[in-house]
Amino acid sequence: MSAPRASATTIAIENIGLTFPSKSGEPTVALADVSCRFAPGKVTAIIGPSGCGKSTLLQIVRGFLAPTRGKLRFVRLGSETDEQATRDVAPPHMATVWQAFNLFPWRTIVDNVAFGLEVAGVPKAERLARARKALAAVDLTGFEQKYPRQLSGGMRQRVGIARALVMEPELLLLDEPFGALDAQTRLVLQEQLATLVERSGTTAILVTHSIEEAILLADTILVMTARPGRIAAEIQNDLPHPRSMATTHDPRFSALFDQIYGLLRQEVIRAMATEGGDA
């Protein structure tokens, strides 16, 4: 089955800072002093005001950006009583789902999904079989031979998810995966993704602007401050699984929503004041 794989690796972000240099004017301090851990088999959502460094943090985990200070570590934790036994391990196998669909318009849907396997040298018959299974997992059986332009936005984003799943990642990185979709499509996809991730026990990191999405999908929610980004709060979400639209009627959902909104509101106001100051 093409699905994410369970991983035992913890991702440890230790006092990370990242400053983007600028040819003219002030450098941008995107991340100040961020420390957090992404637990294996759990979904962690990162939420925060626009420009606070959420995507930058994800790119650091992905290995596309190097922090200016601090350390990214992949570790196998020791027991609770023996932190000394914690040891560094190889990075987990990762796949990313971006907000922009980034599909190749000249390739069929099945060939788009199989692309990563092709690059990895997987033989044609196997990669097509795996791509078909990944498409089935996101309810796109029957659309294999279509081209991206023939699909709706929601379907194209499901292709994006299938393209990540087919790689059987141990770590799934989701950067506002549903940001470009209408509200109804978004809800259905959130439910589908929650089920896929729950079943597989993979580790996932989700960057989102949606408090609702964070609560539906995540076990832990990291709220970031306005830029330069820091972790303002780490909130555990113990709402039972499986979660769906019905979960939003649970009083515990409302309590979590209010708590996160309260934190975010302060930071968004701070971000707006800073942007005004910069202008």
Chain positions contacting ligand ATP, by CB under 6 A: 20, 28, 30, 48, 50-56, 227
> Is the alpha carbon torsion for 135, 140, 145, 149 positive or negative?
negative
Judged by beta carbon, residue 140 or residue 271, the one nearer ligand ATP is 271
Judged by beta carbon, residue 138 or residue 271, the one nearer ligand ATP is 271
| Shortest spacing between CB 186 and ligand ATP, in angstroms | 16
β-bridge mates for residue 11, sequence order: 38, 74
Of 95, 69, 79, 81, the closest CA to residue 14 belongs to: 69
| Shortest spacing between CB 229 and ligand ATP, in angstroms | 7
Judged by beta carbon, residue 55 or residue 185, the one nearer ligand ATP is 55
| Shortest spacing between CB 227 and ligand ATP, in angstroms | 5
Rounded Cα distance between 174 and 273, Å, is 29
Spell out the residues 6+ positions from residue 9 whose beta carbon is closer than 8 angstroms to its own: 40, 74, 75, 76, 89, 91, 92, 170, 171, 203
Beta 203-207 vs 43-47: how paired, if at all?
A: parallel
Judged by beta carbon, residue 75 or residue 180, the one nearer ligand ATP is 180
| Shortest spacing between CB 256 and ligand ATP, in angstroms | 21
